[in-house]
């Protein structure tokens, strides 16, 4: 399908309605921590695998699911009142998902009317967003779960948001991470972009008009909204982040299967960083203790082609080495994004795409915007 046809198939919108938890805020870690603490008081152990049961639910519904699943000796109301203060204590620690701040700033700068519609109570919403500069003033409308008769998956909240924005539902673009939220948006007859917050779930989101992997992949022009202007030569500049450690053995296939060696490092101590960053293809600079600083392109994620069980980072240094360098200290500064991870019909097409990524990174890293990081002291260990 050509680019042009694709655009004409999607309905054009005039405003955006956003979900909060899991969509703009990375709430998952906090939820896990709170449930771990409270369940242990009942002699139970939180198993992250239940996370999908609570995503997108109202606090009461989520608590009810936990009380039932873990057969707790308390009522749902009691459980809610026990965990509520634990959550309130954590709100100051919730980070924005990558791309959330950028999106809100962009919509505000371009005068696109924006609403926030969350199943959380209004008071919690206000508290959570108060820790993020400029967020509150980005929304012309804020609606909490306690301000409508029924929360998502009922469309009430989105219909109320449209009314307060003085927009037709068909002119609204909903951005949602959860299934109840996607359902609510479609019942409200709005356009819906799903950004699943849990991995390997995108097949469940068929009802959405588009499923993307992270906010970094949002293309507003598809919906008739002003496009982001920060992409440079196929790359999106990011706030730098840093990761390093001795090179360890990886899956044993980079060189053998693909002809593309990737120098793996241990993710011990970096699990939060790894969880924070969406899967995808990134680039930056790599420092090797005794060899110098090199251009680098890497994937983060589950390598859909190989369907790995673990999320890893796979850094390919854009330099020809005559030997392996296992055990050497590798330092990475990651400064840009290229694309989301995808599956490929053939190994050849995966290899071709990775080489294309390499060329994009190679060229971009010459730009002053990116080349300045080559001198970052973090990269030099000797």
Question: Which residue numbers are catalytic?
Answer: 19, 21, 314
Q: Which is nearer to ligand RBF, 40 or 349 (CB)?
A: 349
Residue 256 C-beta: closest distance to ligand ADP, Å? 6
13 close to 173: Cβ distance less than 8 angstroms: yes
Q: Coil, helix or strand for 191?
A: strand
What does 304 interact with, of Mg ion, ligand ADP, ligand RBF, none (CB < 5 to 8 A by kind)? Answer: ligand RBF
> Tokens for 38?
């409270």
Return the bridge partners of 281, or none: 299, 339
Q: What is the DSSP letter of 235?
A: B
> Tokens for 217?
């992949």
Query: Judging by DSSP bridges, how do beta strands 292-301 and 280-288 pair with one another?
Result: antiparallel
Q: Does 262 bind ligand RBF (CB under 6 A)?
A: yes
Q: Does 262 bind ligand ADP (CB under 6 A)?
A: yes
Among residues 185, 254, 301, 336, the one that binds ligand ADP under rule CB under 6 A? 254
Among residues 191, 357, 360, 379, the one that binds ligand RBF under rule CB under 6 A? 357
Residue 208 C-beta: closest distance to ligand RBF, Å? 21
Q: Does 263 bind ligand RBF (CB under 6 A)?
A: no
> Tokens for 228?
């982001």
332 close to 286: Cβ distance less than 8 angstroms: yes
- Helices 156-165 + 179-187 axis angle, to 10: 60
What does 247 interact with, of ligand RBF, ligand ADP, Mg ion, none (CB < 5 to 8 A by kind)? Answer: ligand ADP
255 close to 271: Cβ distance less than 8 angstroms: no
The C-alpha atoms of residue 17 and residue 24 are separated, in whole angstroms, by 12
Q: Does 139 bind ligand ADP (CB under 6 A)?
A: no
Q: Does 84 bind ligand RBF (CB under 6 A)?
A: no
Could you give the C-alpha distances from 282 to 27, 74, 221, in angstroms and in order? 23, 47, 23
Q: Pick the closest to residue 224 from 1, 18, 9, 24 (CA basis).
A: 9
Q: Which is nearer to ligand RBF, 306 or 326 (CB)?
A: 306
Q: Does 356 bind ligand RBF (CB under 6 A)?
A: no
Return the sign of the alpha-carbon dihedral for residues 160, 162, 165, 167: negative
Q: Does 298 bind ligand RBF (CB under 6 A)?
A: yes
Q: Does 249 bind ligand ADP (CB under 6 A)?
A: yes
Q: Which is nearer to ligand ADP, 126 or 324 (CB)?
A: 324
Pinpoint the alpha helices (H) of 91-199.
Answer: 100-109, 122-129, 156-165, 179-187
Nearest residue (beta carbon) to Mg ion: 250
What does 305 interact with, of Mg ion, ligand ADP, ligand RBF, none (CB < 5 to 8 A by kind)? Answer: ligand RBF
What does 42 interact with, of ligand ADP, ligand RBF, Mg ion, none (CB < 5 to 8 A by kind)? Answer: none
Q: Does 253 bind ligand RBF (CB under 6 A)?
A: yes
Residues that bind ligand ADP (CB under 6 A): 247, 249-252, 254-256, 261-264, 316-317, 319, 321, 324-326
Residues that bind Mg ion (CB under 5 A): 250, 254, 262, 264
């Amino acid at each position: 399908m050509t680019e042009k046809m694709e655009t004409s198939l999607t309905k054009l919108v005039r405003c955006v309605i956003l979900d909060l938890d899991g969509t703009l805020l990375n709430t998952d870690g906090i939820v896990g921590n709170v449930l771990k603490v409270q369940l242990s008081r009942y002699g139970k152990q939180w198993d992250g695998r239940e996370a999908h049961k609570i995503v997108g639910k109202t606090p009461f519904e989520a608590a009810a699911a936990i009380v039932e699943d873990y057969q707790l000796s308390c009522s749902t109301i009691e459980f809610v009142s026990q965990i509520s203060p634990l959550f309130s204590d954590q709100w100051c620690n919730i980070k924005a998902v990558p791309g959330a701040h950028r999106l809100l700033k962009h919509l505000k700068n371009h005068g696109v009317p924006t609403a926030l519609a969350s199943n959380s109570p209004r008071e919690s919403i206000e508290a959570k967003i108060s820790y993020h500069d400029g967020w509150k003033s980005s929304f012309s409308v804020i609606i909490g779960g306690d301000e409508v008769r029924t929360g998502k998956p009922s469309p009430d909240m989105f219909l109320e948001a449209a009314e307060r924005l003085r927009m037709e539902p068909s002119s609204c673009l909903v951005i949602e991470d959860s299934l109840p939220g996607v359902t609510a948006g479609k019942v409200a007859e709005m356009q819906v972009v799903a950004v699943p917050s849990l991995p390997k779930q995108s097949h469940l989101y068929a009802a959405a008009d588009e499923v993307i992997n992270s906010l970094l992949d949002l293309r507003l022009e598809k919906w008739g909204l002003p496009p982001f202007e920060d992409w440079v030569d196929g790359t999106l500049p990011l706030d730098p982040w840093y990761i390093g450690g001795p090179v360890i053995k990886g899956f044993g296939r980079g060189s053998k299967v693909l002809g593309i060696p990737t120098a793996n490092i241990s993710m011990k101590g970096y699990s939060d960083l790894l969880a924070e960053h969406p899967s995808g293809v990134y680039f930056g600079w790599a420092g090797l203790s005794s060899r110098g600083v090199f251009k680098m392109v890497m994937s983060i994620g589950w390598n859909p082609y190989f369907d790995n069980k673990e999320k890893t980072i796979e850094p390919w240094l854009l330099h020809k080495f005559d030997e392996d360098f296992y055990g050497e200290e590798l330092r990475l500064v990651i400064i840009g994004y290229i694309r989301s991870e995808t599956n490929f019909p053939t190994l050849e097409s995966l290899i071709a795409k990775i080489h294309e990524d390499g060329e994009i990174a190679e060229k971009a890293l010459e730009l002053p915007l990116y080349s300045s990081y080559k001198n970052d002291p973090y990269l030099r260990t000797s």
